Structure 1
C-alpha cells in the first residue's frame, strides 16, 4: 500500500464523518427520478481486485438498461481493468481534478457508490445531486444514500456488488457466470509472441505479489514450487509489477523453461498470459480475481484475507489456508501489521500447494 493511499484512508477516518454531516446540511440532491435511467455513474475507488469483481454488476445494469450510458469514476491504479469491460461508456479518474469535477457536474440519473467502508466516496456520490443514490450502509455514509444495501463479510464480493445493481434494476440478482472479461486482441498477439518459445509446453503462471506484505507467500517457496512444477513438464511464467521483479528473479533462477515478466507487461497483457496459462498460483490478489474473471484455473493462498468473501468460487479453483486463530484479520481493505511473523502464510507448505495444483491440472 502506497503512502498516498495510507494518507487518503487516514483523512477519510479523520474527516469523513464531518464531511458527511456538512454536505447533508449544505446540499440538496435533485428529486425528479427518471423511470428508466439514461445516465449512470458508478464509483469504484480502490485496487484491481474490487474493480474486476464489479464487472458482472456492470453487465447486469447494461442488460437491464441497454440504452443507458454507464460511466465509471475510478482511480489510476485500477482504471485499466475497465478497458476489459465494453459495457462502459466513459472512464473518469479521481486522480484528475478536471474529471472529478466532470463527474460532479454530470447530472446523472443514478449514482452507485461501490466503496465498502470509506466515507468520502459517499460524499462524492451525494455531491453529484443524482436523484437515485445507491451504496453500502456500513457506517454513517448511509445517510447520503436513498437506497441502502447491507454488506456481509460472509457473502462473495461479486454478490455484494450484484446486490447494489439489483437496487437499480429492480430485478433479481444477475446470475454470475464466467468468463466475464473481454481480452484485447493486440495484448493476446503480443503475449503469444513472448510465449512462442514455449511451444508444446503447458504454462503455469505464478504471481508472488500482493497489496500488503502480510498477504505474500515467500519467493523462496515459489521457487521450490516452480522447480517441482518444471520437473513435471510445465513452463513457468511469473507475472507482477516492477515491485515484484526481484521475487520473479528468485523464482525463475536456474529454471530452464521459465520467464520473469514482472514489470514488463500492462494489466491487459498480464490478463492475456493468465488466459494462456493452464493455471495461476497466487496469493490473495487482484491478479487472482483477474484470472477468475477470465475463466482460468487458480490455486490461491489465503492468510489475512477472508476466503469466504474473496476466494474464487467454483470447481476450477482451489484454496489453501491455515486455521490460525487470528486469521482472517483483513477488513474493508485494511490489513493490520502482523505481530506473529505472518504465521498464517508461512505455515503454507510447498508440498500442499503442489498437490493442489497437480490435482486441479488433472481435472
Structure 2
C-alpha cells in the first residue's frame, strides 16, 4: 500500500479509533515472556535502528519468539536481524490478518506518531502493550512511554523496553546488523575487479527531494576519489539508477537497481566507508560497523545522525533546520539550501580524513 494512502487512512480512521476504543486492562504476565510482537511500520532507517532493542530482548529472554509486523518498504531490513521467528507485512492483508488473530505475552508498538499501529496493538491479544505516548495513541497501551525529539532513535526504541526491566546499555554502540551468507557471496561476483580493493560506497538517494545532495555532486566527488586511486561503488534501488549512471560516467561502478536490500548491505559491508544523506541506507552502514560521512539538512541530526566510532556528520545548521518532525518535512521555500551549501571539496576532505583515521587507527 502507498505510504501516503496509509497516512491518509491513519489521519481519519486511526485518529477516530484511537479516541473511542477503550483503554486496555493490564494483565499480569509470566516473569519471562515466551512470545513478543514488535510492530514497526515506516522506513528502512527505523527498522535498522530497532535492531539493538531486538537484540536486548533476545539476550534478556533466551528462546523468546519475536514476530515483526512491518511494511513492504521496510520488511527487507529485518533479514539483517538474525533470530526472529517471522516477519509479516502490515500492508499485505494475507499476512496482516493472521497476526491480528494471534495472541502474545507482549506487544510493542515502535511507531512514533501515527495511530493505526497503536490500534493494532490494542486489538491484538496481549497482557502487556507498550508504545510511545505522543498523542491520543497513549490511551491504547498498558505502558505508554515518553518520546523526545532530540534523543538518538535507537535509544528511544530501547526506552520502550523499560517496562520489562531491560536497559540495554551499549547495544547500539557496536555492530548490530548481520548480512546473510548468500548475499555476501553474491556481492563478490558483482564487485568484479574491485573485489579485495579498498572502495568508498556512495548512496545518492533519499526519501524526499529536500534530503538529496544531487547526482552531479556525487559524480564530482567520485571523480576526485578515483583520481586518488580510491574505488567508488554506487548503491541504491531502481529510483537511483539515473544517479548511478551519472556517477559511473565519472569512473565509479553503479550497482543501483541490481541488488536487493540485503545484498546492498553486503556491498556496504565490503566498503571502507559510506557517503550518504539522511537515509535508511546510512543506518544500515552504522549497524554493520562501517564508517560514514553523512550529509544532514532538514533531518534532525541529534535523533538520526551516527554517533561514536568513525563517523563524520556534515551539517550547516542553518536557522531554519532541522525542519522535520515525526517524519514530515515541509516544502522548502529556499530550495533546500541546507543541503546545497555542502560543497564537494568539503565532503571529499571529510572522506579522506576518515580514511586516514581508519588507516592510522584500525579497529
TM-score range, shorter chain: over 0.9
Between 1:328-337 and 1:96-105, the stretch displaced more is: 96-105
Distance 1:61 1:145 in 2: 19
Answer yes or no: is the 8 Å Cα contact 1:29–1:129 preserved in 2. Answer: no
Task: State the match for 1:334 in structure 2.
Answer: 328
Selected match of 2:227 from 206, 227, 231: 231
Task: State the match for 1:175 in structure 2.
Answer: 170
Task: State the match for 1:206 in structure 2.
Answer: 202
- 1:73-222 matches, within 5 Å, as 73-168=69-164, 170-176=165-171, 177-199=173-195, 201-222=197-218
Between 1:95-104 and 1:235-244, the stretch displaced more is: 95-104
Are 2:278 and 1:284 aligned?
Answer: yes
The alpha-carbon deviation at position 29 of structure 1 amounts to 5.8
The alpha-carbon deviation at position 320 of structure 1 amounts to 0.4
The alpha-carbon deviation at position 11 of structure 1 amounts to 2.3
Answer yes or no: is the 8 Å Cα contact 1:58–1:165 preserved in 2. Answer: no
Are 2:43 and 1:47 aligned?
Answer: yes
Q: Equivalent residue of 1:151, what SS? A: coil
Are 2:337 and 1:343 aligned?
Answer: yes
Task: State the match for 2:54 in structure 1.
Answer: 58
- 1:303-318 matches, within 5 Å, as 303-318=297-312
The alpha-carbon deviation at position 95 of structure 1 amounts to 2.0
Answer yes or no: is the 8 Å Cα contact 2:222–2:250 preserved in 1. Answer: no
The alpha-carbon deviation at position 110 of structure 1 amounts to 0.5
Task: State the match for 1:300 in structure 2.
Answer: 294
Flag as ranges the 4+ runs of structure 1 deviating above 6 A: none
**Alpha-carbon deviations, 1:230-252, whole Å to 9, x = none?**
11111110001111100111112
Distance 1:89 1:194 in 2: 30
Distance 2:73 2:166 in 1: 32
Gaps of 5+ in 2: 358-363
Answer yes or no: is the 8 Å Cα contact 1:207–1:238 preserved in 2. Answer: yes
Answer yes or no: is the 8 Å Cα contact 2:56–2:166 preserved in 1. Answer: no
**Alpha-carbon deviations, 1:152-206, whole Å to 9, x = none?**
11110000011112322x0333322321111111111111112131256311100
Q: Equivalent residue of 1:355, what SS? A: helix
Gaps of 5+ in 1: none
CA RMSD of aligned residues (A): 1.5
Answer yes or no: is the 8 Å Cα contact 2:161–2:167 preserved in 1. Answer: no
Task: State the match for 1:35 in structure 2.
Answer: 31
Are 2:347 and 1:353 aligned?
Answer: yes
The alpha-carbon deviation at position 22 of structure 1 amounts to 3.0
Task: State the match for 1:15 in structure 2.
Answer: 13
The alpha-carbon deviation at position 98 of structure 1 amounts to 2.7
TM-score by length of 1: 0.95
Distance 2:264 2:8 in 1: 32
Distance 2:46 2:285 in 1: 13
Task: State the match for 2:246 in structure 1.
Answer: 250
TM-score by length of 2: 0.95
**Alpha-carbon deviations, 1:32-75, whole Å to 9, x = none?**
52332111000000010000000010010111111211100011
Distance 1:302 1:335 in 2: 13
The alpha-carbon deviation at position 113 of structure 1 amounts to 0.2
